[in-house]
Amino acid sequence: MSLAEAAPPLPLVRRKDAVLQRVRDVVASELRPLAARIDAEGLYPSHVLKQLGAAGAFAQHHEGKGEENVIDLGLAIQSMSAVAEACLSTAFCTWCQDALGWYLQNSENPGLRARFQGDVANGAILGGTGLSNPMKALSGIEPIKLKGVRVSGGYRVDGVLPWVSNLANGHYFAFCFEADGESLAAIARLGSDGVESRKGAEFIALEGTATVAVGFKGAIVPDEMILSDRFTRFAGRIKPGFLLLQTGMAAGLVRNCAQLMREMPPRVRAVNAYLPIGPAALEERLTALESEIMALAATPFESERAYLRSVLLARLEGSRLSLDATQALMLHAGASGYLRNSAYNRRLRESYFVAIVTPATKHLLKELSAKPQDARKSDKKPL
């Protein structure tokens, strides 16, 4: 027997620490040197995402795929946060990958889960989430954009999804379509018959996220690719995790803002001390937010309205804190924040994305303002 075979397994805490260290090593060696190019040139770092997958960044919220046999949403959020410290574009791609995995973990189709979950969890398959539209539809913000018709063995789907990210040709993504008065969630592969990308707009930030519009033209979605035959039910199960995973982007961004403030020259820091928001204040708010996030992440399948409200508030605080942190950082940086390709204005532009990605700040506030009876009606009405 070898020494490795004879050694007892590492305690769980040390195994979790090892995951985060592997993720940080990939970030330091592979991602951080590319962050400026990802922002300025729209470079999509698929090779970095593959390495993050191999490090375990995408696996922790999958049952039996991470360091535990149980789902550890908190460790998934912490892994994403480590990525966001260097580059929000790549952290957003991490969220897209995590969201696709979360849908598979919670799918009502065990065959689909068995077919794809392992490869999505380890990054062998990359993909995105096209559920922004149906999440808005649940809140009465916009209608379902894709329409389906029942055919033998599946559905024929037509329509256009405006933006889906982490999506290159051959990648997989989730989407929702309406058929026979019901909304269904499914997975498709970009580049398969009738499913094509349509690149159009250019963004001021997050160009390196492989974001495209996706057109469905007579695309056949077989029954074996259906995640759920009732999206309203499916959304109720995935929503807390969907929201909480996004907070990893905010946490890493804020942490890096505080670090950048502390790294400024002593003479600059001496004057910056007169500004109303400094690194200590940001870190204090971040510590409180992360404590709340970790507590909520421990029970992602709670269905009580008070729990979901706490999740919505945590997600909203992540947006607000991101904006506060990056605007404060620009004041600390002064004129150097206006230099092209500076990390300071990149972080500012990235923070607005945290605040507008679905669910955007206005979407969150709309949901938080709903009365309990309104929320019950919304849960029951068909999309």
pLDDT digits (tens, 9 = 90+) for 67-111: 877 899 999 999 999 999 999 999 999 999 999 999 999 999 999
DSSP-assigned states of every residue in 298-310: T-TT---HHHHHH
What domains does the chain contain, in order, with CATH numbers? 3-126 (1.10.540.10), 128-230 (2.40.110.10), 232-380 (1.20.140.10)
Rounded-to-integer distance, Cα 20 and Cα 117, Å: 21
Average pLDDT over residues 17-30: 97
Q: Can you read off the two tokens belonging to residue 170? A: 């051959």
Rounded-to-integer distance, Cα 64 and Cα 84, Å: 25
pLDDT digits (tens, 9 = 90+) for 262-316: 999 999 999 999 999 999 999 999 999 999 999 999 999 999 999 999 999 999 9
Rounded-to-integer distance, Cα 171 and Cα 282, Å: 37
CB of 228 closer than 8 Å to CB of 185: yes
Residue 3: pLDDT band with limits 50, 70, 90: very low
Q: Nearest CA to 347 among 262, 249, 265?
A: 249
Helix (H, G, I), strand (E, B) or coil at 58: coil
Residue 379: pLDDT band with limits 50, 70, 90: very low
Average pLDDT over residues 222-235: 97
Average pLDDT over residues 153-157: 97
pLDDT digits (tens, 9 = 90+) for 309-353: 999 999 999 999 999 999 999 999 999 999 998 999 999 999 999
pTM here is 0.93
Task: Tell whether the model's pLDDT for residue 373 goes beyond 70.
Answer: no
Hey, what amino acid is at 75?
Answer: L
- How does the average pLDDT of the chain come out, rounded? 93
Task: Tell whether the model's pLDDT for residue 156 goes beyond 70.
Answer: yes
DSSP-assigned states of every residue in 194-216: TEEEE-----SS-GGG--EEEEE
Task: Tell whether the model's pLDDT for residue 5 goes beyond 60.
Answer: no
